Amino acid sequence: MIGCGRRIPGIDVSAFNELILLLTCECGHVGRRSVQFRYGRVWWYSYSIGSTIERGSGAVGSELDQIAAVQGWLTGCERCSNEGDLAVLVRSGAVIGVTAWENIDELPKESVFP
């Protein structure tokens, strides 16, 4: 499967991928934010909404996952520094968005990735 994630340079040894998206913060600030997560091949890939997840040896999850909720870390808002946990949603191998964890209680355990 050919993905469209772009590799980004990293110096941290603990690799993660990131999702770049435009978010409205609780403080009202609209800005470009980064969500760090580990799903698919974990190697500094930078995704946007709609990107296909890169796979390969050691990839987290399966290409057969219909839907996955992946633990994500939202990096700080440039106005209020708000940051925190949210779920990155992957459907049929593509990133479809993010949501708060309380919105996805109904997902089966095998679809949730720490």
Using CA atoms in the order 57, 63, 69, 70, what is the torsion angle rounded to 10 degrees? 10
Give the three-class secondary structure for 111.
Answer: helix
Cβ distance to Zn ion smaller for residue 69 or 98: 98
Closest CA to 38 of 55, 17, 10: 17
Residues 50-79 binding Zn ion (CB under 5 A) are: 77, 79
Residue 86 sits in the site that holds Zn ion (CB under 5 A) = no
Cβ distance to Zn ion smaller for residue 74 or 90: 74
Interface ranges with Zn ion (CB under 5 A): 25, 27, 29, 77, 79-80, 82
